[in-house]
Amino acid sequence: MKAKQKRITCIVPEANALKGAKALREKYDLQTSQTMNAHFARGVGKSSPLVKRGIGEMTEKVVFSVIVETKIADEVFEFLFSEADIDRPQGGMIIMNAVRVAEF
């Protein structure tokens, strides 16, 4: 199995996901319906004032994924890290992994 593409996944606030997707579409001319996917997720964070009381704060985030060619994956990763404000405190997280396709 060869990896010709990579999936980049961001878990960020909704406004950051929209900002990142728009910037990605403008710079790399990616077709949203073919390469991007987004859905909402909810969880409890531990980096809020409520942590002192032993409970976290319920937050809603967007899980945003994009599939790109391996040759531009690192560039897109760095671009999204900056454009989606992941480089700021509580900005979210970003992950990249290979998309493997079985060749028969």
How do the domains of the chain map onto residue ranges?
2-101
Query: What tens digit of pLDDT does each residue of 18-72 get?
Result: 888 888 888 888 765 567 888 888 876 666 555 566 665 677 889 989 999 999 9
Give me the mean pLDDT over the 6-26 stretch: 89
Query: What tens digit of pLDDT does each residue of 47-58 get?
Result: 655 556 666 567
Cβ–Cβ under 8 Å, residues 67 and 100: no
The backbone torsions φ and ψ at residue 42, rounded to the nearest 5 degrees and listed phi first, read -130, 145
- The answer to whether the predicted template modeling score (pTM) of the entire model surpasses 0.75 is yes
Give Cα 12 distance to the centre of its chain. Answer: 7
And the tokens for 69?
């060619």
Q: What is the pLDDT at residue 6?
A: 93
Integer Cα distance of 82 and 79 in angstroms: 5
The fold of the 2-101 domain, in CATH, is: Alpha-Beta Plaits (3.30.70)
